[in-house]
Amino acid sequence: MADTYDLIVLGSGPGGYVAAIRASQLGLKTAIVERENLGGICLNWGCIPTKAMLRSAEVFHNMKHASDYGLVAEKISADLDAIVKRSRGVAKQLNQGVTGLMKKNKIDVVMGDGKITAPGKMTVKTEKGEEELAAKNIIIATGARARDLPFAKADGKRIWTYRTAMTPPEMPTKLLVIGSGAIGIEFASFYNDIGADVTVVEMLDRIVPVEDEEISAFLQKSLKKQGMTIMTGAGVKSIDVGDKGVKAEIEDSKGKKESHDFSHVIVAVGIMPNIETIGLDELGVKPDDRFHIKTDDHCRTNIDGIYAIGDCTAGPWLAHKASHEGVIAAETIAQSMDKDGHPHVMDVNNIPGCTYCHPQIASVGLTEAKAKEAGHDVKVGKFPFIGNGKAIALGETEGFIKTVFDAKTGELLGAHMIGAEVTELIQGYTIGKTLETTEAELMNTVFPHPTLSEMMHESVLDAYGRVLHI
Q: Which of 68, 73, 70 minimizes the C-alpha distance to 396?
A: 68
Distance CA 328, CA 322 (A): 10
Helices (H) and strands (E) in the chain, counts: 14, 22
Catalytic site residue from 65, 416, 449, 469? 449
CB atoms within 10 A of CB 188: 28
Strand order in the sheet with 174-178: 159-160, 264-267, 174-178, 197-202, 229-232
What are φ and ψ of residue 40, in 5° steps? 65, -160
Residues 6+ apart with CB under 8 A from 135: 4, 5, 6, 7, 8, 31, 120, 122
Angle formed at CA 216 by CA 215 and CA 220, multiple of 5 degrees: 115
Q: Which residues pair with 196 in a beta bridge?
A: none
Q: What is the CA radius of gyration of the chain?
A: 24
User: Is 449 marked active-site?
Assistant: yes
Burial class (CB in 10 A: 0-12, 13-18, 19+), 80: middle
E strands, 67-178, are 108-111, 113-118, 121-126, 129-140, 144-146, 159-160, 174-178
Q: How is residue 442 annotated by DSSP?
A: H
Distance CA 311, CA 460 (A): 34
The catalytic residues are 449
